[in-house]
Amino acid sequence: MQYEIIGGQLPAVRCILAAGETMITEKGSMCWMTPNMKMETSTNGGLGKALGRMLSKESMFQNRYTAQGGEGEITFASSFPGSILAVEISPGHEMVVQKSAFLASETTVELSVAFQKKLGSGFFGGEGFIMQKLSGSGIAFIEVDGFAVEYELQAGQQMIVDTGYLAMMTAGCRMEVQTVPGVKNALFGGEGLFNTVITGPGKIVLQTMPISAVAGNIIPFIPSK
């Protein structure tokens, strides 16, 4: 597979597949393709994996697109202004991503559920108790809300992240939640009651415009009935 990320802040990824090559996607993100791309919809792994994807707010079904009779082209578009990242997945380099971040991948990449070990991380951390884990091997394309900022954390090094700003991290990172120190800070600081603390070693990707923050800023301007 060859690919090109296009579109700037309204991104899409254009993929060129050799005959017989297949890609998978979790949702209706295909925006155009050549006529020789064959589409099939399946649970891709059985009912158990389908239910797991549903828990992470993805579709129970996956679409498979295969180039037939020669080279084929297919393009997948992001659902929100931001960035698309091409991530190389391999054994020992699994990634954990926010819900609905998965756009498409080669069929050798496996999408499963990643539960946060501490309930507080899920209920108050903003990223959710259930996230998505990418394992196996191959290239996966990930949606990021806004601009993507990457950090490589050393063992024990931490980053404090506001709710919703964590897009992705390597599976070796640890996520916890801490309360904002000081009653006055928590009640009047405007940053909420909790922050997410990510501890290395590993890579984290932060996003500058989480859709949850955008929605929160728009709601006050929507006229009530």
Closest to 104 measured CA to CA, from 75, 132, 83:
75
Instruction: Quick: pLDDT tens for 62-73.
Output: 899 999 999 999
Q: Which two tokens stand for residue 51?
A: 């239910």
In a domain, 18, yes or no: yes
CATH of the domain at 182: 3.60.160.10
What's the pLDDT score for residue 184? 46
| Euclidean distance between CA atoms 38 and 71, whole angstroms | 12
169: domain range? 2-220
Domain count, the chain: 1
What's the pLDDT score for residue 116? 59
In a domain, 225, yes or no: no
> Residues of the chain whose pLDDT is less than 70?
43-60, 115-129, 180-193, 225
Q: Which two tokens stand for residue 126?
A: 């903003």
In a domain, 177, yes or no: yes
Strand stretches in the chain, DSSP E: 2-6, 12-17, 22-25, 30-33, 37-42, 62-67, 72-77, 82-89, 95-97, 102-106, 109-115, 130-136, 138-145, 148-153, 158-161, 166-170, 174-179, 194-199, 202-207
In a domain, 55, yes or no: yes
What's the pLDDT score for residue 13? 97
Residue 221: DSSP 8-state? G
Answer positive or negative: Cα dihedral of 86, 73, 77, 10. positive
| Euclidean distance between CA atoms 90 and 45, whole angstroms | 19
Q: Which two tokens stand for residue 49?
A: 């994996």
Answer positive or negative: Cα dihedral of 201, 205, 208, 212. negative
